[in-house]
Amino acid sequence: MSQEYFKSPKKKGKLAVFLSGRGSNFIAIHDAILEGKINAEIALVFSDKTDAPGLKIAQQRKLDTLSLNPKDFNSKQEYEQEIIKELKNRKIDLICLAGYMRILSPHFCRQFTNAILNIHPALLPAFPGLNVQRKALEWGVRYSGATVHFVTPDVDMGPIVLQAVVPVKQDDTEETLSQRILKEEHKIYPEAIKLYFEGRLEIRNRLVYIK
């Protein structure tokens, strides 16, 4: 998998953005595309939640959207198979997880090796998983941040593309810390996608080199 050598393609990319909530990173990515900063188009905004606010925004922005409810499928496998079919039909180059609250199966990940990015609101490998900002506050770290990484079957363990650091303040709440981190997320996620389709990301031995 990502042990092998990989070089990202230099091309106009077809993106699928996966979200479960408001999708503020989706908006940041789309804005960057509209501003001509990323050589890509969003060919699909996908959600597991029919009522995800981000899905509505995508519709307002005239983007192709799809929501599939896992409960309408007999198994996770069937659910993912349907998603994979939709992605293949649209010749998606890169999947960007943007607050997508489901874990992709190893099978799914292997269908899109080196072609799934995620953003995580901490300096991985610190604070993987959920409730990340709360964990950072409970730990009492002085700095936290955000990480854009490739998605592999090991959740939150894939090769790191970019990180950004923010200070943690003594009077921070989950909300204030999240907001500070989110600002950085909205910078580094578009930047990572930009680098990807400039053909500038190489992976060797799970390390991402920016050329």
The answer to whether 32 contacts a second copy (rule: CB under 8 A) is: no
Residues 160-179 that bind a second copy (CB under 8 A): 160, 162-163, 165, 170
Min dist CB 2 to a second copy, Å, is: 10
Cβ closest to a second copy, residue 106 vs residue 167: 167
Nearer to a second copy, 87 or 122 (CB): 122
Burial 175-203 (b: 16+ CB within 10 A, else e): eebbebbbebbbebbbbbbbbbbbeebeb
Q: Is 120 a catalytic residue?
A: yes
Query: Total residues contacting a second copy (rule CB under 8 A)?
Result: 23
Verify binding: residue 34, a second copy, rule CB under 8 A.
Answer: no
Nearest approach, Cβ of 112 to a second copy (angstroms)?
Answer: 20
Options 17, 159, 194, 195; binder of a second copy; rule CB under 8 A:
159
Give the 3-state secondary structure of residue 73.
Answer: coil
The answer to the question of residue 210 lying near a second copy (CB under 8 A) is yes
> 3-class secondary structure for 127-175?
CCCCCHHHHHHHHCCCEEEEEEEECCCCCCCCCEEEEEEEECCCCCCHH
Rounded to the nearest whole angstrom, what is the least distance from the CB of residue 168 to a second copy in the complex? Answer: 9
Whole-number Å distance between alpha carbons of 137 and 89: 43
Distances (CA, A) of 143 to 94, 159, 164, 166: 30, 21, 10, 6
Contact flags string 106-145 toward a second copy, x per CB under 8 A: -----------------xxxxx----------xxxxxx-x
- Which residues are part of the catalytic machinery? 120
